[in-house]
Amino acid sequence: MMMALAAMRELPAVLVPGGVTLPPTTGEDAGKIQTIGVRFAHGEISLQDAADMGCRACATAGGGCQFLGTAATSQVIGEALGMSLTHTALAPSGQNIWSDMGLRSARAVVNLAAKGLTMNDIVTPEAIRNAMVVHAAFGGSTNLLLHIPAIAHAAGLRRPTVDDWTEINQRVPRLVDVLPNGPVGHTTVRVFLAGGVPEVMLHLRELGCLNEDVLTATGETLGSNLDWWENSERRARVRQTLEDKDNVDPDEVILSPNAAKVAGLTSTVTFPRGNLAPEGSVIKSTAIDPSVVDADGVYRMTGPARVFVRESEAIQTLKGQGERNIQPGDIIVLCCRGPQGTGMEEVYQLTAALKHLSFGKTIALITDARFSGVSTGACIGHVGPEALAGGPIGKVLDGDIIQIEVDTLQLEGSINLVGHGSEHFGAEAGEQVLVARAPRPDLAPDEALPDDTRLWAALQSVCGGTWGGCVYDVDAILNALK
């Protein structure tokens, strides 16, 4: 939707977010509940528990997730871009405050038209950067690393690169304590009641991280919107509601920079490179289990590769079915799941299982697929180039020794082939080993991959691939055809 609106460059438009569903009064949130299958397979919950919790996971119909997954993060980004009205992202779906924003959004479109303001005036390079800053402060879904470049492309703007993401995430602190990130992990509706996007932006403004001169869907500048929000009756009312209904201090959901530092909130994502990811990869480093991170803030793991080319095979093995097995200390390598393999599926069944299985935190995952926004743990995705584009991830063999280092404080990291079996030869020699190896013979796209998806995958790879937002750049395609 944001891509479509951004492409309507000469027309006024306002994005109306769908809000979020409310959590159950008892039971598990909608993220954890999706792991009942693998937990049942390992005897960690009963069939009756699985059935009961599954029926209770969502207290209301409609809206995005109770956690800051891709749907909820997209709402946050829409407002941060200036495409939505102030304090509309993450509203409780179906409630009066949610319905009211529809009416106000319609009036806002009329106001934009009267002022002669269009999408060209709102979606600007400065707005794109603001959205990336807010993404870092929220600890949002890694899928937006694909979507924001695609939105920029639709608006005719330069697409941000992995270096841009790295620079912003090294500068901007995470300020929101929301599922799936801790330490408490509040629900998304609590973030809305704590003040939502404009509340986070007040802190970012104090840090000098935002461009306040950008125009927004209100027809006013971001700075003007924040001035209103800071002293508004609406802000006071929703924050008081959170205290009255849930007995939660709003400032413990959306923290000041100093409070976030004391609470141990680390920045959102790290972009490891190395001989297995020469173009880059991404890990939500803030969501690695703290118990496997060393005292200096670095996650270190060296272990044998267990290679799969289908997610279903990896899931069955993780459930303990079949001839193969996965042990604590193993590193799952899942390839052929990128654009050319599957259209770039999300592999949440794996990442969720690793989070909620009792031994999952001792296993890492490396893949050329993408993740659900609720994914956490030592899970490295978006590995580029993907296996079917000649990426070295498609040359990894069972028994290869892989070394992972992720500095959750400095936001630096690496993933390297460093040995095989009992032989250790280091990262530099590992690069030469990968160059000399042929791709695995079992690499192949899914048999049922539709022709239109195969064509899309081929075209987007010419236009910058995963890290370019998986878009069609017509000029790049025509140049390649020449």
Give the start-to-end residue ranges of the domains of the chain: 2-23+58-263, 280-436
Confidence of residue 465 (pLDDT cuts 50, 70, 90): confident
Query: What are the backbone dihedrals phi and psi of residue 275, each rounded to the nearest 5 degrees, phi first?
Result: -70, -10
pLDDT in the model for residue 338: 92
Three-class SS of the chain = CHHHHHHCCCCCCCCCCCCECCCCCCCCCCCHHHHHHHHHHCCCCCHHHHHHHHHHCCCCCCCECCCCCHHHHHHHHHHHCCCCCCCCCCCECCCHHHHHHHHHHHHHHHHHHHHCCCHHHHCCHHHHHHHHHHHHHHCCCCCHHHHHHHHHHHCCCCCCCHHHHHHHHHHCCCCECECCCCCCCECHHHHHHCCHHHHHHHHHHHCCCCCCCCECCCCCEHHHHHHHHHCCHHHHHHHHHHHHHHCCCHHHCECCHHHHHHHCCCCCCECCEECCECCEEEECHHHCCHHHECCCCEEEEEEEEEEECCHHHHHHHHCCCCCCCCCCCCEEEECCCCHHHHCCCECHHHHHHHHHCCCHHHCEEEECCECCCCCCCCEEEEEECCHHHCCHHHHCCCCEEEEEEEECCCCEEEEEEEEECCEECHHHHHHHHHHHCCCCCCCCCCCCCCHHHHHHHHHHHHCCCHHHCCCCCHHHHHHHHC
pLDDT single digits (tens) 110-120: 999 999 999 99
Q: Provide the mean pLDDT of the chain.
A: 91
Q: Assign 88 a pLDDT band (cuts: 50, 70, 90).
A: very high
Q: How confident is the model at residue 34 (pLDDT cuts 50, 70, 90)?
A: low
Mean pLDDT score, 254-271: 91
| Average of per-residue pLDDT across 369-398 | 88
Residue 103 confidence (pLDDT) above 90 = yes
pLDDT bracket for residue 149 (50, 70, 90) = very high
- Residues 171-191 have pLDDT tens digits of 999 999 998 877 888 999 999
**In terms of DSSP bridges, do strands 379-384 and 400-407 run parallel, antiparallel, or are they unpaired?**
unpaired
pLDDT digits (tens, 9 = 90+) for 311-354: 989 988 887 776 788 889 999 999 999 999 999 888 877 887 78
- Is the CB of residue 293 less than 8 Å from the CB of residue 299? yes
The pLDDT value given to residue 356:
67
pLDDT at 286: 81
Residue tagged active-site, from 267, 372, 375, 461: 372
User: pLDDT tens digits, residue range 213-243?
Assistant: 999 999 999 999 999 999 999 999 999 999 9
Contact 39, 356 (CB under 8 A): yes
Predicted pLDDT of residue 264: 85
Token code pair at residue 142: 């890694």
Between 105 and 55, the more confident residue is 105
The class level of CATH for 280-436 reads: alpha beta
* pLDDT at residue 444 greater than cutoff 90: yes
Is-contact 377 343, C-beta < 8 A?
no
- The arithmetic mean of pLDDT across residues 145-158, rounded, is 96
Confidence band (pLDDT; 50, 70, 90) for 57?
low
Q: Is the pLDDT of residue 284 over 90?
A: no
pLDDT band for position 374 (50/70/90)?
low
What's the whole-model pTM score? 0.89
Token reading at 328: 């604590």
What does the pLDDT read at residue 47?
85
pLDDT at 45: 81
Give percent of the chain above pLDDT 70.
Answer: 96
Catalytic: 372? yes
Q: Which residues, listed in sequence order, are joined to residue 413 by a DSSP beta bridge?
A: 406
Cα dist from 302 to 187, 298, 314, 323, 468, whole Å: 34, 13, 20, 24, 30
- Cβ neighbours of 234 (radius 10 Å): 14
Span 43-67, mean pLDDT? 78
Q: Mean of the pLDDT values across residues 137-164?
A: 94
